[in-house]
Structure 1
Amino acid sequence: MLSYRKAGAAIGALALGGTLLAAAAPAQAATTATAPKSDGAKGICKRLPQTEQRIQRALDRLNGPATENGSIARLQQRVDDAQKAGHTAVYTYLNDRLTYRKSLVPTLTTRQNDLTAVATWCSGQGLGASK
């Protein structure tokens, strides 16, 4: 009777080990199969006009007047109003949002400058926005 139990345990361990090996093999194959084949320059050049427009719209909105939703000036006005009203929790929340929104301007400006260099490179390589 003991030998049957040992044999059953051994068979169960072998089956479990085989299952684990079979499960690990596809994961390794999938990882190597999805590796990039290029740097994606062709796609970047193709989407360049849309990317430039999106960044410009974001900068225009951020630098807009206090009447424009999403502008730094509008959020600054809300921060000032919360401070005047003594709403410290709201002031803290809005002020943190304002700090983040102000940090977006230099980031987007840098990206815009980088895209200018990319546009020059794309045109030199003959890669344009044609579909």
Structure 2
Amino acid sequence: MSHFIQRIMKNFESIQEEQTISSNQNRFDVDHESLFILIIFSIYCSFFTLWYGIMTEVTCAAMALASFQRDIPHKQLPYNAWIPYSMATPMMYTVAYLHQTIGLYAAIHADIGFDSFVINLMMMTCVQLKILLYF
């Protein structure tokens, strides 16, 4: 391992020179129209992600509030689950209920992240195609 590190340190200048050459070859000029298209669609992606996040959070809050009214008076949990302890005491019921509610919010946030990623990826692919068709 130390021989490998010594070899890298010895050839550091040549590696750095190769990196600058390869980074200069990957540059390309972007005209104002394609940059404008990219900025507009980036704003659309941000707006749709924010809108989807707000709608999903409102839905999650409505589900939690409905569960408060429906399940707490009857000492039921929002979701069917096997719990390895007795919920006879109010403290244990509260812990289990909060666990499921926090799990709901965690799942909703993961859903927002994954779904908006896929939608934004498709939109950015369309932007790239639009820019290619522009030329």
TM-score by length of 2: 0.33
Q: Which has the higher contact order (CA 8 A, sep 6+)?
A: 2
* Bigger Rg, structure 1 or 2: 1
